Structure 1
Amino acid sequence: MERSQLIKEGAISLGAYLLFILITLLVPVLGTFTLLLLPVPFLLFTNRHGLRPAIFLALFSLAVLFIITGPFALPLILSTAAGGIVTGELLRRKKHAFGVLLGGSLAFIAAILINYIGSIVLLGINPVDEIQNVLRDSVAASEDMLGFMGPQNEEAFEAAYQFINHLGYIAPVMFVMFGTGYAFLVQWISSLWMRKKSGYLTERFPPFREWSFPRSFIWYYLLTFILVFTDPEEGTALFIAAANLMPILEAVMIIQGFAFIFFFFHKKGRSVAFPIIIMIVSFLLPLLLTVVRILGIIDLGFDLRKRMNSQK
């Protein structure tokens, strides 16, 4: 490709990136959506031109953004460009969809960690502590407003304060879940765009009904459950390990359970609307979500889908 065409597409990618940043920072509602689009210009440029031109684009974007935002440019570029470039390069190499997701997730999680550590070391600001302070002020304001309604709200406020106090312990799992979720959405949006606009055949995720985790996750879940059952002292290494592992493993079992539900209705020839409705209702009713998690444990432990497929 001619250098002029490369420069032209680089300028377009930079312009789109700066536009998304302005909307994200200045338009509250629409900015929530454009936040997902920030890595996309780097992803598409990397997929089309390769790793080296994409790195030069990121460095040039850093210089331009530094003029506009000052030192804030570095964490902003790091948070968005790194994951976009890694995801775009993996798509260019036609890696499996889950392999692309893994690479993108690791890149976004690494960027979050670097920014988090940099904020503490360079600025003396712990973002988690700041979030806790904001949440405490919000709960305190709500408590003052609703205090006249009687003592029935005391347990709810105590639970809220306890959750806020535990945020410092579960920061790692929040980083992992946010990075993975963000990577998934960026990959999904970019793949839709690439297939629609350029006819590029990206590797698709398999149907949700076919998703399944390795059976070893059962043992991880069991060991973590036993660790939680021993009730380790708050603040110890075992307590922090349990507090971070359990949410991830519970999410794994819930995904496994929903995948089995989708498989079951597909096997029975039912409409996909039924499992979708069950999924929506499950997030509204925590008890039903517990049933889904148990179903995922059973499916993963006894391979229910394989048994159903083997039935005549």
Structure 2
Amino acid sequence: MKLRWTTAAWSIIYLLLLLSLVTPFSIVTAFLLVLPVAILFTALDTRSFIVHIAPVWIIAMLIEPFFLLLALYFLIPGLVFGYLYRKRRPAMQVLKYGIAVLLLEMLVLLMVSTTFFELSLSRYVDEIVQMTTAPLTEMGVNSSLGSQFWTEADTAALKDRTMQLVPFAMIISAFLMTVVTHALVRPTLNSMGLSVPRLKPAREWMMPRSLLWYYLLIFFISLAIRDSDNNFMHLIVANAMPLLQICFMIQALGFFYFLAHEKKWHPVIPLLTAIPIVLFPPAIIVGIIDLAFPLRQAISKNKR
């Protein structure tokens, strides 16, 4: 009976999340739309799952037909999550498949929008940048600094940079949506009496050592094309470099959790180290050193 009421509640939450996409909160709720589908598909058999979501779709479609398209878009990753949870697959495998499916959906959506609906991503980005920088441009014109404060050239450069980082933004969006979904699904399913494999403790996180070679490759490519007009290579460097830096940030955070575990520090200490790691990019050197050298083995050996 508890499971029945809980799943019914999640159906209502699913409907509310769909309806929230036309509100200013959509930038937050969009990251949660995979959650109810994953929970319902894991907790219920396929027939019961359909019975739970069909009324939600009907109500949403009656209010606004566009809601049904959004529901279909977020249904696929939700089913992937739910299927993997049903099979009790390792958490890392769930994250990998989740990121891959969400990223693939974004690419397909972009391709369909461009091909069939004549959506110009460049024009859309240009409108957003123009709208965002308009106050800066006006401030420069009206101030004693004149046009030196913010020029049209600055706006054009920002637009080009934004267009370059579209792949990075898509990957990060898929990553965040997947992490948020898994972080919320696991305790929810556990409270419903359904166990889901958890991620390894942060102190055991280790990135592939091959990332060091990728980082060196991208670094030397960035030096080689500094004065080049090769837009494709600039695009690769602009997206690969921040992604690799994020990987090293995660590695550094894992190292501090390992160090805190070995030294018996308070659990909040490694969490606080995330602040300088994120705000001070050179701190990734800790992750690079940890990946390049056997620091953890040395610390464990010294402890013994």
Q: Could you say which TM-score interval applies, normalised by the shorter chain?
A: 0.7 to 0.9
Map residues 67-82 of structure 1 onto 2, 5 A cutoff. Answer: 67-71=62-66, 73-74=68-69, 76-82=70-76
The residue correspondences of 1:19-168 to structure 2 (distance < 5 A) are: 19-26=16-23, 28-29=24-25, 31-50=26-45, 65-71=60-66, 73-74=68-69, 76-127=70-121, 129-147=123-141, 148=143, 150=145, 154=149, 161-168=156-163
| Aligned residues of 2:140 and 2:146 also touching (Cα < 8 A) | no
1:289 matched to 2:286? The reply is no
- Quick one: structure 1 residues 294 and 170, their matched pair in 2 at CA, closer, same or farther if it must change by over 3 Å? same
Residue 189 of structure 1 pairs with residue 184 of structure 2: yes
Deviation, 1:149, is 5.7
Task: Report the alpha carbon displacement of residue 50 of structure 1 after superposing the two structures with TM.
Answer: 4.9
| Cα displacement (A) at 1:188 | 0.8
When the two structures are superposed, what TM-score results if normalisation uses the length of structure 1?
0.82
Cα gap change, 1:157 to 1:297, in 2 (>3 Å):
farther
Deviation of 1:300 after TM superposition, in Å, equals 0.6
Q: Name structure 1 gaps, 5 residues minimum.
A: none
Matched with 1:305 is 296
Counterpart amino acid of residue 82 in structure 1: I
CA offset digits 1:52-79 (Å, max 9, x no partner)? 87579778866664443335632x1243
SS of 1:190's equivalent in the other structure is helix
* Matches of 2:175 and 2:21, distance apart in 1: 21
Match of 2:14 in 1: 17
- What secondary structure does 1:205 align onto? coil
- In 2, are the aligned partners of 1:101 and 1:187 still within 8 Å (CA)? yes
The SS at the match of 1:167 is helix
CA contact (8 A) 2:32 2:180 kept: no
Corresponding residue pairs, total: 299
Q: What are the ranges of 5 or more consecutive residues in structure 2 without an aligned counterpart?
A: none
Shift of 1:91: 0.9
Equivalent position of 1:202 in the other structure: 196
Of structures 1 and 2, the one scoring higher in RCO (CA 8 A, sep 6+) is: 2
- CA drift at 1:230: 0.7
Tell whether the 8 Å contact from 1:51 to 1:85 is kept in structure 2 after alignment. Answer: no
**In structure 2, what is the Cα distance between the partners aligned to 1:269 and 1:152?**
57
Asked if structure 1 preserves the Cα contact closer than 8 Å seen for 2:252 and 2:287, the reply is yes
Q: Partner residue of 2:174?
A: 179
Over residues 133-191 of structure 1, what are the superposed CA-to-partner deviations in whole Å (9 max), with x where a residue is unaligned? 21222113223125516379748996665343122222222211110111110111111
Moved more, 137-146 or 300-309: 137-146
Q: CA, structure 1 residues 252+55, in 2 after alignment: closer, same or farther (shift >3 Å)?
A: farther
8 Å contact kept, 1:128–1:171: no
Higher mean alpha-carbon deviation, 220-229 vs 126-135, is at 126-135
Q: TM-score, normalised by structure 2?
A: 0.84
Give the superposed CA RMSD: 3.1
SS of the counterpart of 2:163?
coil
Change (3 A) 1:152 1:278: farther
Deviates more, 1:260-269 or 1:31-40: 31-40
1:10 deviation in Å? Answer: 8.2
> Are residues 10 and 188 of structure 1, via their aligned partners in 2, closer, same or farther at CA, if it must alter by over 3 Å?
closer
- Letter of the aligned partner of 2:157 in structure 1? Q
Worse overlay, 31-40 or 54-63: 54-63
Relative to 1, partners in 2 of residues 1:266 and 1:60: Cα closer, same or farther, differing over 3 Å?
same
> What are the Cα deviations for residues 77-136 of structure 1, in whole angstroms up to 9, with x where unaligned?
243111111111111111111101111111111121121112111211134541342122
Is the contact between residue 13 and residue 41 of structure 1 (CA under 8 Å) also seen in structure 2?
yes
C-alpha distance in 1, partners of 2:154/2:300? 45
Match of 1:222 in 2: 216
**Larger deviation, residues 122-131 vs 154-163:** 154-163
Query: Does the C-alpha gap of structure 1 residues 238 and 146 become closer, same or farther in structure 2, counting only changes over 3 Å?
Result: closer
Q: 1:149 to 1:226 in 2, by over 3 A?
A: same
The answer to whether the Cα contact below 8 Å between 1:211 and 1:256 also exists between their aligned partners in 2 is yes
CA drift of 1:13 comes to 5.3
Provide the C-alpha distance between the structure 1 equivalents of 2:51 and 2:171, rounded to a whole number of angstroms. 28
